Structure 1
Amino acid sequence: MRGLTKRFPGVLALDDVTFTVRPGEVHALVGENGAGKSTLIKVLTGVYQPDQGELRYRGEPAVFGTPLRAQQAGISTIYQEVNLVPLMSVARNLYLGREPRTRLGLIDFGRMHREAERVLGDYGVRVDVRQPLRHLGVGAQQMVALARAVSVNARVVIMDEPTSSLEPREVETLFGVIRRLREQDIAVVYVSHRMEELYAVCDTVTVLRDGRHVHTGPLAETDRLTLVSLMLGRPLGEVGRQTTATPAGDHDGEPVLHAEGLTRPHQLRDVSLRIHPGEVLGLGGLLGSGRSETAKAIAGALPVTGGSVTVAGISVRTGSTPAAIRAGISLLPEDRKAEGIVPGLSVRENIALAALPRLSRFGLVHEARVDAVVETFMKRLRIKASSPHQKVGELSGGNQQKVLLARWLAMHPKVLLLDDPTRGIDVGAKAEVQKLIDELAEQGLGVLLISSDVEELISGSDRVVVLKDGAVVAELSGDDVTEDRLMRAIAAPTTAPDDTSPTIPTSPTSAEEAAVHGH
């Protein structure tokens, strides 16, 4: 792909990107949220057509008008979410659209079942291929998707977070399949946020950031710390110089929020954190580290299999959003358009949405009280709208974010969970939101701040808890709250846990160890 550019309304998703993958190469494609990875894959597989640039496949110019044409040419994709047909049998899913036929043109079920058992056996999946796919676990379904993608005479296999739902044994099987593909001169594009996996199976790495190509090179020659700095856009020579955390106040005594041992298979592993009144606790880590999942688990929006949450010493039922709201926990989600605002409703209706039970009596909304609350918060947060009755979908991103903040502040929360609150808003609105967060903390609110902007996270937090692969790997406080410490904590190699991915046989070089650990 040469000079690839793709625009959407108001967004330059890919900006003059060049990406090359060769036969028998396992090529890692990495970058943070919004880097352009998904758009690049969708252009490669015919979902999107580029606005500029050229795609060449096997040495020839290529245009894939649809995903089917890309697949027929030999480009297969395994998505993070299994995209098969759960009500059909395992064998039918494996051969969907290319079922073996008898001389009469009917499906040869006997042959299809035998071949399905043989193919899946190579992937460590030994099941009754006649049963509906939905009876299998998510990991086994993912392996069926993998087997289907590889068995269509693919020359390029794209794997988008393929281990997100796999057990350690299945991950080892996947790595074995990848090595076989390499031996067969099949190219693999491997998208993952798990660094240990990248170093275990990938030959080359390409880093995207904000829709631009920033690096391509041999992965073995790129140490973890350098890779993290490229993804986050923080040059190594500048790390730790520009910013330090805001001075932490006296946060002794009873925490306003105490989350203990939050656990969810493949997503969270024994995550614990405390937030004191008036404290801004930063939650750091790369995309996929478990930051958003932690916030959602605390707010009851993500069920957990273990752990507890208390607010001001009072236990809160996990997995229940109403219980969390009643306890004083409010969550500003990362994707405000999909999970936050209701674009067809007015600014007034969006602000009052959560507080309606408090602003009602006998099921009837007290309109004057709603107007008073809306007016108060529109002035306090300086929300720019033609009137409270303007549709919130017509506002700028920064003002939409302020409307969401107003909604939850109207609930008088004790804890505010902010998931990337300044993402996608302009510089002026960003500064206003950051100032507001500081003011809320000064008023005694406990704040959890998640941010993909390292500088914002460091400068805006009193302490920082660092997550990696769904587990806490470091806690920074005082003079340790620096960009340098944060990036080294993220980059440090870890032994993978039992419930996510296997221990990787490769080990970093001594020079890399020294760079990561600062020796």
Structure 2
Amino acid sequence: MFWEEHFLESSKPIISLRGVSKSFAHVIALRSVDLDVYAGEIHAVMGENGAGKSTLVKILSGVHRRSSGSMEVRGREVDFASPKEAERDGIAIIHQELNLIPSLSVSENIFLGREPLKAGLFIDYAEIEKRSAEILAKFGIDIDARADVETLRVGEQQLVEIARALSLNADVLVLDEPTSALSEAEAQRLAGFVRVLASQGVAILYISHRMSEVFALADKITVLRDGNFIATRRSSEVSQRDVIRMMVGRELKPQESKNSVSNNPVVLSVKNIGLQKPNSRGRMHNVVDGVSFDVHAGEIFGIGGLLGSGRTEVLELIFGASRGKSSGSISRSGASFNVRSLTPRASVANGIAFLTEDRKGSGLLMHTDIRSNAVLPSLPWLAPTGWISRLRENAVTNRMIKSMRVRCQGPEQQIEELSGGNQQKIVLGKWLETKPRVVLLDEPTRGIDVGAKEEIYDLLKQLAATGVAIVMVSSELPELLALSDRILVMCEGRATGIVESDDFSEERIMELATPSGARLEGVAA
């Protein structure tokens, strides 16, 4: 590793930025940022979406070149022109958005561009699989090195990204929202490994919106706001409220107490749904096994569980987007449907909307503009005769931009130019334009900063107040506990309990979510 050769004195940073700025056309994304990162230090960077965090990461990784300012690595000024140059200088990046090739295997992704060769000519696939399996095992990542990445869930793909970065043996590791798709248990395991790396002299630059995670890990915290450097503080010298105030420039409102919705009519009834898929050996196994629950009008119904518990598949079954052998039924306002015959088109027509966990892969058309994405679910209403009115398109898009508080240059701006938080707002906003009565949300605040989270939380509570039923999957237990009226907990495909609000606690949820602690309880809604 680089750090074995270049373990520097604590007074000399491995990375030093002075007055670094970056502009895109007439938009300033980063303005005069100073940053020092030292060997053996975990240094967090925090800020709302659009604060400049991702731009900073891309400059460090060679994706973007700075417009002005200086950057030194181990005392030598650098100006990376590509990610390869950054990697050769000992800097490994795990980006917020996954950068894997779905059609390749896990091992091929881990060693992409660094494949060992036979006789200097042919890729040694056996060696790639062997070395990848060793890396995965070393870091406790239970994934088959031979599996195709496209068969993995988002959280598992994130672990492959982490394994690839760790295989580079770098002395600077930049983690951009590394736990955004991980369960609490996976996040804790990653945190433990990050601490080990830091103790060995690796410099860690850690970007996360999870406040408790940052305060548990970071030695220092740098805050950015609207592209500007605000402050760098030792985490022991500031409170979470101090950091939030620096990030958003205002005090956040406390969560309000919940109102009872148990007497409201049931608008979604899920009965004994199940899903079978083949495992790695080709044998069918239960991904979802006999799950039932009811959701009332105006209720925020949470679904919790560890990665692989089947929580996402429950939403896919309800929406008609599952792959595999499905069973059971759902009822929506009295109309009953066999899940085997459900389709997304029929669900949308019946007032059900679904925000997926992977906005980049299935939530947005990344290479088009905001308008094209905003109106996509509403086309049956906007163009009943097949002709689309640009006037109506603009009206829908501008209304959504305003209501969702999307930071953009206008309807024509390309989706891929927006921050992850603004992209997420567009995913949610486009579905709300269909006027749904049931909204299914899979990780609705994944990669969202605290300020944007508050806005989305307020929006969800406003939706619920109008009678919309919300079913929400989230890996963040504080989020589930703060928003949900009730929480269904899943473990290994089965419902292990429905927890009422007066029994909410992280310990209670984790007890039901873990195989060692889960026990089947009465789960009739």
Give TM-score scaled by structure 1 length. 0.57
Distance 1:455 1:328, change over 3 A: closer
Q: In 1, distance between residues paired with 2:161 and 2:207?
A: 16
Cα 1:215–1:166 shift into 2, 3 Å? same
Matches of 2:514 and 2:111, distance apart in 1: 29
- The letter of the residue matching 1:474 is A
Displacement of 1:473 in angstroms is 1.6
Structure 2 residue ranges without an equivalent (≥5) = 1-16, 276-286, 303-311, 411-428, 445-450, 486-503, 516-525
**Separation in 1 of the partners of 2:167 and 2:349?**
52
1:217 to partner: Cα distance: 1.7
With over 3 angstroms needed to count, the CA separation of the structure-2 counterparts of 1:10 and 1:254, relative to structure 1, is farther
Q: Is the 8 A contact 2:272 2:292 kept in 1?
A: yes
Aligned to 2:139: 123
2:165 counterpart of 1:182: no
Q: 1:322 aligns with which of 345, 355, 361?
A: 345
Post-superposition CA distance 1:107-140 (Å, at most 9, x none): 66776665444443321247775x3554985566
Over the matched positions of the two proteins, sequence identity in percent amounts to 29
Q: Report the Cα offset of residue 42 of structure 1.
A: 0.9
- Correspondence 1:253-402 to 2 at 5 A: 253-254=264-265, 274-275=296-297, 300=319, 312=333, 314=335, 320-329=343-352, 338=364, 353-355=379-381, 359=384, 365=385, 389=390, 400-402=397-399
Aligned length: 410
Q: What pairs with 1:105-504 in structure 2 (closer than 5 Å)?
A: 115-125=131-141, 131-134=146-149, 137-138=152-153, 142-166=158-182, 170-235=186-251, 253-254=264-265, 274-275=296-297, 300=319, 312=333, 314=335, 320-329=343-352, 338=364, 353-355=379-381, 359=384, 365=385, 389=390, 400-402=397-399, 421-424=404-407, 452=452, 454=454, 461=462, 469-470=475-476, 472-474=480-482, 494=506, 497=510
**What residue in structure 2 maps to residue 4 of structure 1?**
20
Cα shift at 1:29: 2.4
Change (3 A) 1:314 1:15: farther
CA displacement at 1:141 relative to structure 2: 5.2
Task: Find the residue that maps to 2:404 and give its secondary structure.
Answer: coil
Deviation at 1:182, TM superposition (A): 0.7
- Residue 487 of structure 1 corresponds to which residue in structure 2? none
- How far apart, CA to CA, are the structure 2 residues paired with 1:258 and 1:229? 42
Change (3 A) 1:94 1:391: same
Q: Letter of the aligned partner of 1:327 in structure 2?
A: N
Question: Aligned partners of 2:164, 2:372: CA distance in 1, in Å?
Answer: 47
SS in 1 for 2:229: strand
The answer as to whether partners of 2:100 and 2:149 remain within 8 angstroms in 1 is no
Select which of 39, 52, 58 maps to 2:55. Answer: 39
Partner of 2:99: 83
1:461 positional shift: 3.8
Change (3 A) 1:338 1:346: closer
Return the letter of the residue paired with 2:78: A
Distance 1:350 1:18, change over 3 A: same
Alpha-carbon contact 1:75-1:154 (below 8 Å) kept? yes
Is the contact between residue 181 and residue 475 of structure 2 (CA under 8 Å) also seen in structure 1?
no
Which letter does structure 1 place at the counterpart of 2:210? R
In structure 2, the CA distance between the partners of 1:500 and 1:183, relative to structure 1 (3 Å rule), is farther
State the shift of 1:67 in Å: 1.0
Give, in whole Å, the separation in 1 of the partners of 2:292 and 2:210: 18
Which letter does structure 1 place at the counterpart of 2:59?
A: V
Q: Mean alpha-carbon deviation: is it higher for 217-226 or for 315-324?
A: 315-324
In terms of Rg, which structure is larger? Answer: 1
Return the alpha-carbon distance in structure 1 between the equivalents of residues 367 and 85 of structure 2: 37
User: Is the CA contact (8 Å cut-off) linking 2:175 and 2:206 kept in structure 1?
Assistant: yes
Q: Which residue of 1 aligns with 2:38?
A: 22
Partner of 1:362: none
How many angstroms apart in 2 are the aligned matches of 1:90 and 1:113? 9
1:11-60: CA deviation from partner (whole Å, max 9, x where unpaired):
43223333332111112223333332222211111111222322222222
- Structure 1 runs not aligned, ≥5 long: 284-292, 360-364, 375-387, 406-418, 428-436, 478-491, 503-519
